[in-house]
Every structure is written in C-alpha cells, then in structure tokens.
Amino acid sequence: MEVFTSLMVIGLISALLWLLHLRNTRHLPPGPFSLPLIGNLLQINNKAPFTSFVEFSKIYGPVMTLHLGWQRTVVLVGYDAVKEALVDQADDFTGRAPVPFLHRATRGFGLGISNGDRWRQLRRFSLTTLRDFGMGRKGMEEWIQEESQHLRACVRSFKAEPFDPSILLSRTVSNVVCCLVFGQRFTYEDKHFLNLLATIAEFVRFNSSPIGMLYNLFPRLMEILPGKQHKVFANIEMIREFVRMKIKEHEDTLHPGSPRDFIDCFLTRMHQEKDNPSTEFHYENLQATVLNLFVAGTETTSSTIRYALSVLIKYPHIQEKMQEEIDSVIGKHRSPSMEDRKSLPFSDAVIHEVQRFLDMVPFSLPHYTLKNISFRGYTIPKGTVIFPLLHSVLKEDKHWATPWSFNPQHFLDHNGNFKKNPAFLPFSAGKRACVGESLARMELFIFIVALLQDFTFSCSEGPDSINLMPEYGGFANVPRRYRIIATPR
C-alpha cells in the first residue's frame, strides 16, 4: 500500500511539473499531444525519427512543437521554413543546443556547441586561419592531390581482391585535416592513427544509435545506468590525450612568426591575449576546437565517399558514364583539379546527388533559442531546441523531380550543363553552416574522380546486393559497409 501511495504521489508531482512546464505555450507552434516525462517519444520511430517528424508536419504544418522527453523542441520542415529561419532570421537562430553527448565529449568548450562571444571569436578565427592555410585554395588542392596518390596506391595493392574501404577512406580524409590542424600526415600503417580513426567511427555510430539518442534525451539517467556509453566516453579520452600530446609538441617547437598549422596560430593568439581576462583563446577551447575539426573533418566526408562507391556499384551505367567523361577531359596521367569541375558536369552532378540522397545529417546539428523569438507569428521561448530538418529539404518533392530516387538529372539542365538547386543544403545554411564546407567539396570531387580514373568498382555479390538505405537513421545516416572490388582500368 505504501509503495502504491508513493507511486501515486510521484505521478501527481510529475503531472503537475509537466503542466507547469507547458504553461504559457499558447503562442507556440502547434504539435501533437505529449505525455509527462517522455513527451512524444512513443510516437516517434526510434530507428529513423526524422521520418516521423515529416509525418507530423503533414498534420501540424512546417513549423511545429514536439517534446522529446522534457525538452521542448520546434521542428522546421521544408526549404521555405528552414531558409527563413537560418538565413532570413539568422541572428535569431545562431544558438547551438547543448547536445549532452557532444557537451560531455568537449566539456562544453570549442567551436562546435558554443554560443555567444565564445562562438563568434572561435568561428571568426577558425575560418580565417583555415583559409590562410589553403582551405578552398590552390595549396589545399595540392595536399588533396598528393593524398589521392597514396589512396590510389593503397587501393592498387589489393589487386582486385575484395576489401572494406571504410578505414582506408578515413585515413585518407583525416590526413588532409591533419595537415591543416597538426601540420603533418600519418602513414596508413600507423597503428595509433588507426585506433584513433576506429574510435571516431564508433563515436559517430553510437551517437546515431537508439542508445546514443537516449543519452541525449536522458543524460543523467544514462550516466547511472550501465551501457556502451561509458566505453565510448572512455575511448574519447584517448582522442583527447592524442590532441593534448600534439599541442604539447607544438608548444615545445613553436616559432610565433612562422606558424605551421592551426595549432600554432591558436597558441600564438593565446600568447597575445594572455593578459585579457575575457579572452576565449585558452587551452580548453584549443583542445576542444581541434577535437571538433579532427572528428567532424574525418567521418562525414569519408562516409560520403564510401557511399558514393556503393552508389556507383549499384548503378554501373552511371559509373561508366562518369569514367567516359573523366577520360575525355582529364585522361589518366594527371591528377584532377577543381578547375576540371566545370568541364565535368555529369560527374559533378553525381557527386552532388550522392550528398543529397545520403542525407548525411538529417536533423543538422540542433539550434537553440538564446532568447524569446518571433517566427511566422509564433513565439518560441528561450531554451527551446530547434531542428532545421535538412532531410525534409533534401527530399522535398517541390524542389526535386524524383526525391526518393537517385537521379543526377536533379543537377543538370536540358543541355547537360550543371545547374544549382537552392534546396541543396547538406552543409546546412546561415551563420552556423559547416566551417569546413569548401574543404569537403574539394575532397569529394578530387578523391572520387581520382579513384574513377584508375579503377572500376564492383562487388562479388553483384549490384543488386547493395542496399543504399543507411544502417542508422538518427543523428547521422551511416552508410552500410561492403567489401568491394577495385579493378584497375
């Protein structure tokens, strides 16, 4: 009886707190009825939650309110709503949500999930510094071309035998980021480097899994319960230790007038502002920002290239047409350059369609209201998580002729020339768009074209065995892994 009474009291208190939580919400966007404590979680597909959000929008419109546990969330669906928020009202939507999993990994520091003056200082510095070291310019292009030679040599070593390209592509892409951030590349046989890349892959996969999503919804509970989350965080410490080691090496060999990379530039700025009590250029922000760049710059781009190879195996006629175009423009005896892109409209269209169809980060990184804001006649209170649903933009039938089919014609006009589409937002939009967008675009083009110069890709089970649906559909759409065959041309 006492247990029953206690449960009744807890239930009544929870209901009361929930009602208090929902008070003054009459100016919020509409949304489905939610339950105390769990909100709308029982109504959401935990394997692909973004699909549930799209279904809700058919009832409640392109701007709607959901509750994910206790967290009030406003979801923006479709290009018009996302663009209006992130671009037209950019200042109102620059806040970044304190995603518990990312907050734990970075301890709240760094560029990725910071806000206010910290974010502005770090973003301005990061963009300027990365550009100074060639991001989006000729110098970076040469680094990528050099790395493509290492990639092709390694692929050639498999001698047309099946192999899993996942770790190889991670090594390749990560080395480009390492040149920018650490001023060095690592050999493909470096075991410590391989362990770090495996940890990064595990981090992304876990954060996209149902358990990872539960951690983001109920972090305090998940800290108490046993589970894989504890192992993942322990492994993240290994990456943090690697970053600490690299920073220490840079401190010991720093020449302020001759910066070698991002870390040198940050250390120099730290020294310049050491007497400024409000500076954001301190050790914790350096470590976390390097961690942001290292992790984000590795897994997303390498997964996209891996997915592109799966697409080309699935549709060999597309692969053949790309190779014909590449052969006619570049040939087989020089590395592709970004200058070639305008002469390779079909190849460029395929690469864009790979990004659209993969829909790598369907929710984008969630935004956050740092104050009460007005949007489309609604009032969104301070402390609300905002999901600009990039999935709904990249698959919106108003902007794409066949949104659920892989179709390079989405990016070609009637004359076969490349055409832009404003709804192509895989890197998000506005002031919180990906800082590495230009680097990622360059890597995708050069690496994919370089591989097709030298190899034809297939798998022993045949094209029909390739499933382009991702393994997980949470934070990130993680492509399935296949053993593929690279036959020299």
Binding residues: 434
63-68 and 378-380 beta bridge pairing: unpaired
Q: 262-272 and 283-314 helices cross at what angle (nearest 10)?
A: 160
Residue 488 DSSP SS3: strand
- As a whole number of angstroms, the distance between CA 311 and CA 480 comes to 11
DSSP 86: I
Asked if 412 contacts 349 with a C-beta cutoff of 8 angstroms, the reply is yes
Binding positions for heme are 434
